């Protein structure tokens, strides 16, 4: 198993698309972890901009209230090209799917 696959093997995959994957890690604390590969985004400026966009979407829309654990957000290359509104729509869809299938863990 590759090193990347081992890193996420203990997590529950909640949502997967060409832009990102959303994992759930049961925990006593709520939180958001964002994983962005240097392989896909060479510039630290790009990576930080994407992290700020994701954090802002989760903060303003209170998406973390639906999770009683840690959300691990793994970003792929096409996500960097999404507009804020497109990213908001797709992240909202992912969170809605989680709530429907898994309930409020």
Highest mean pLDDT among 5-14, 19-28, 47-56: 47-56
Is pTM, for the whole model, over 0.85?
Answer: no
pLDDT: which is higher, 21 or 10: 21
Largest CA distance in the chain: 37
Exposed/middle/buried for residue 64 (C-beta within 10 Å: 0-12, 13-18, 19+): middle
End-to-end alpha carbon distance in the chain: 29
What residue segments make up the domains of the chain, in order of their start? 3-102
pLDDT: which is higher, 7 or 70: 70
Question: If you classify domain 3-102 with CATH, what class do you get?
Answer: alpha beta
Q: In the structure, what pLDDT confidence band is assigned to residue 3 with cuts at 50, 70 and 90?
A: low
Q: In the structure, what pLDDT confidence band is assigned to residue 83 with cuts at 50, 70 and 90?
A: very high
Instruction: Give me the pLDDT at residue 1, please.
Output: 45
Per-residue pLDDT tens digits for 34-79: 999 999 999 999 999 999 999 999 889 887 776 778 889 999 999 9
């Amino acid at each position: 198993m590759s090193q990347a696959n081992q890193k996420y093997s203990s997590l529950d995959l909640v949502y997967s698309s060409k832009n990102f994957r959303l994992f759930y890690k049961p925990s006593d604390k709520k939180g958001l972890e964002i994983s962005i590969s240097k392989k896909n985004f060479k510039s630290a400026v790009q990576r930080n901009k994407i992290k700020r966009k994701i954090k802002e979407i989760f903060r303003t829309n209170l998406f973390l209230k639906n999770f009683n654990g840690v959300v691990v957000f793994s970003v792929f290359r096409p996500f960097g090209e999404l507009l804020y509104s497109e990213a908001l729509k797709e992240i909202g869809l992912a969170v809605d799917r989680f709530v429907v299938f898994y309930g409020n863990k």
